[in-house]
Structure 1
């Protein structure tokens, strides 16, 4: 079953029907691994990388897409319990991957990981993001860094420069607002964008506290949490953000037209949307790291999505072998070129100059890097936290009450996670 047929099955049959309608071996090309993902627009990139992967291993990729994030997670979790799961799956790193690994649903990929590190294709510092109880259960599909994109023409017209301190950043925000431009495009729609801005702002406010919070070594009732929420509340009340019900897909065109001045989003693949909105890299849009509120140097949030192999895959050995070649430069270059930059292999050049400049700066200057919240705590907790924070974005009147709710969720979900993983 190809992508369109599968999507029709999802809509017509519902989740149960979709899982039973999974493609059989005879409908997948004989030299391709069935690869489920949630990014339909990325299919040409998957196929281009798959063509090179086939030359190296004899196995390419057969992408099948479920574009709705909520449906995607439900379908994948159900398929992993069947006798006929996909060969490869796009999935989150960190706790999202560990959540599948602890259920015994994933194949161990330590051999592919170690081979990639030995070849110089992979920074072993990422190991923790794909490790569960000593085993490695995924390989990096993409890596991006959350930065502040801005409209170069608007900044130039107002005499603004990319800020390097928090006071400068607030000054830029107020200059934009005084000119009738909403400074920052953020939204609570679809939940996960809340995690993006929460991660960026919390890491900018106090990176050590944010990192400890994600390890259950800090509390949502700490002084840092209260100060952070009061800062966010003040920014919302001053009109520095778009309305909470804004549609995030509209932000690139809003940035291009000058309706918003800045958009927090990943450097690399997000540049595609800006180019489609009519902006050119460097002259139409540029980007900077969000400055730290109190620390002398910024902290940048990273998003690392992964490839995982279901342990019941019909082509388990072949998929594992393919993963050992996935990060090879000749495989990664067409994939990274398609997304304007995304590869976790630092030998692979990112084609977008803004993205490459910031990647070089992050690496060469030793910028502190932390993981996005969406992957950085147990998934049920992350969903609950982002729902509450989405409500706060719509009504920021009671930050203390929101934090109390978040801490109750944290105590409950961390207790469950620790009990379930003993």
Structure 2
């Protein structure tokens, strides 16, 4: 009901804007583009990119950021049917991108990708995540490798070091618990999937991949065992209250939890709080649960920056996407946020993130597509709700898996 209400508000806001006549009804030559996004906390960085793009290619960019995912998605989907259309917008890869591509709403960026790959600004491997029906759509707004951010002062205080094995990670959690410190952050909303994907990918990445393509079931023994391990960690008292509304950046800074698992984009939250890498916090790759796996599984994601197929000024929108992939643009985008870049030419300032980026690119890790993108949208909706219930009611794990599997059965029966 809560999501539906947000979606309704988003559509209502769109209709009001349309009545105000703000939409472009005819093609026009633009000097400033609108960029709607679900990264409201990054408005400052988008603004800086708009200033730079105006200087370099004569196209400014004005961001409009949302902080609620459901409301944002409702707005973008409603824009397909109205005259209030974004010039550029952020989205997700995987099933969500495929859905709107099949609706013929997204501009083809194959030519941009071909040119960028030839110039060494984008990699052929990354193109896979943007390819649907043999063509590319959108460009990378960001890339991220997932690991563990940790409060270095808490680690130093309790004489702890980044773990190299899963057993060492649990030992760290036990030590923190004995000293009255919660080891891990987790939440019951939106990012409720984080520990499921990490535990499953680190136990059996092949099972993870089969699950995302309907070739395995959520009720299979391997998945049940992962949920039981997750439950045992909750029962052990390693996690903070999943209903805690404190921003995870503040959770880490204030020491409410010693560790937060997120993508490298979370580094922006640290820099926004004036935290210094190596002094206030650090980052480490999460060890596999299954030590026998040949490579450490690393969750990977890439968020698209897209243009509508029927953009007000298609030429301007495509010009902007092309510029966005350049080393010049990506240098500014990555450096300002203290993050990694989709462009291999960009040097990463943060030593730990730079090492992870280099190692990931060299094939050291088994990259695993983030659950949010790997899972078909109808199944994802059921899973997010289910995992949100589980973290507050750990004994419900079997019921939760059965409910998600029902959604999976319904989806895969018509999408093999």
Query: TM exceeds 0.5?
Result: yes
- In the alignment, structure 2 segments of 5+ residues that lack a partner are 1-8
What residue number does 1:214 align with? 212
Moved more, 10-19 or 101-110: 10-19
8 Å contact from structure 1 (residues 185, 263) kept in 2: yes
**Who is 1:3 aligned against?**
none
**Structure 1: segments with no counterpart, 5+ residues:** 1-9
Q: Which residue of 1 aligns with 2:345?
A: 347
What TM-score do the two structures reach when normalised by structure 1? 0.89
**Two-structure CA RMSD over aligned residues (Å):** 2.3
Distance apart, 1:115 and its partner CA = 0.9
Contact 1:29/1:62, CA 8 A, preserved across alignment: no
Give per-residue Cα distances to partners, 1:124-156, cap 9 Å, x unaligned: 112221122222111100111111111112112
d(CA) in 2 for partners of 1:299, 1:404: 26
Structure 1 residue 350: Cα displacement: 2.5
Q: Which residue of the partner structure matches residue 374 of structure 2?
A: 376
Native 8 Å contact 1:271 1:340 kept in 2: yes
> Judging changes above 3 Å, is the alpha-carbon distance between structure 1 residues 315 and 136 closer, same or farther for their aligned structure 2 residues?
same
Q: Given that residues 187 and 194 in structure 1 are in contact (C-alpha distance below 8 angstroms), is that contact kept between their aligned partners in structure 2?
A: yes
Confirm or deny: 8 A CA contact 2:152 2:280 kept in the other structure: yes
> What CA distance in whole angstroms lies between the structure 1 residues aligned with 2:188 and 2:18?
30
Over 3 Å counting, the alpha-carbon distance change for 1:89 and 1:232 in structure 2 is same
Say which SS state the counterpart of residue 99 (structure 1) adopts: helix
1:404 to 382, 402, 405: 402
TM-score normalised by L of structure 2: 0.91
Partner of 1:126: 126
Q: Which moved more, 1:346-355 or 1:133-142?
A: 346-355
Q: Deviations over 1:214-263 (max 9, x none)?
A: 122221122210111111111111111112212251x3223223221111
Residue 301 of structure 1 aligns to a residue whose secondary structure is strand
Change (3 A) 1:359 1:21: farther
Equivalence for 1:67: 67
* Structure 1 residue matching 2:204: 3-state secondary structure: helix
1:120 Cα shift? 0.3
Could you say if the C-alpha distance between residues 247 and 325 of structure 1 is closer, same or farther in structure 2, counting changes exceeding 3 Å? same
**Contact kept in structure 2, 1:19 and 1:79, CA below 8 Å:** no
Contact 1:81/1:105, CA 8 A, preserved across alignment: no
> Which of 283, 288, 296 does residue 287 from structure 1 map onto?
283
SS in 2 for 1:92: coil
Query: Do the aligned partners of residues 224 and 178 (structure 1) sit closer, same or farther apart at CA in structure 2, a change above 3 Å counting?
Result: same
Aligned mate of 1:330, from 328, 338, 348: 328
Q: Distance in 1 between matches of 2:226 and 2:374?
A: 19
Three-state SS of the structure 1 residue aligned to 2:387 is helix
Instruction: Name the structure 1 match of 2:101.
Output: 101
Q: Secondary structure at the match of 1:304?
A: strand
Is 1:79 the counterpart of 2:61? The answer is no
